Homo-oligomer: A and B are copies of this chain.
Amino acid sequence: MPSELSNISTPPACIADFCLIPIGTPSASVSKEVAEVQRILKRSGLTYSMHSAGTTLEGSWDEVTKTIGQCHALLHANGVVRIQSDIRIGTRIDKKQTFDDKVAAVRKILESDEKTVGEA
* A contact residues vs B (CB 8 Å cutoff): 1-5, 8-11, 14-15, 17, 19, 21-32, 34-35, 38-40, 43-46, 49-54, 56, 59, 61-63, 65-70, 72-74, 76, 81-94, 99-100, 102-103, 105-106, 108-110, 113
Q: When the two chains form their complex, are residues B72 and A10 in contact, meaning their CB atoms are under 8 A apart? A: yes
Copies of this protein chain in the complex: 4
Chain B, Cβ-Cβ closest to A89: B85
Q: When the two chains form their complex, are residues B82 and A5 in contact, meaning their CB atoms are under 8 A apart? A: no
Partner of A4, one of B43, B62, B86, B91: B43
Q: When the two chains form their complex, are residues A86 and B88 in contact, meaning their CB atoms are under 8 A apart? A: yes
- Residues of chain B lying within 8 A (CB to CB) of residue A74: 8
Q: When the two chains form their complex, are residues A91 and B62 in contact, meaning their CB atoms are under 8 A apart? A: no
With A76-B11, A81-B93 as known contacts, state yes or no: A43 contacts B5, CB within 8 Å.
yes
User: How far is the CB of A16 from the nearest CB of chain B, in Å?
Assistant: 8
Chain B, Cβ-Cβ closest to A83: B91
Partner of A1, one of B63, B68, B83, B113: B63
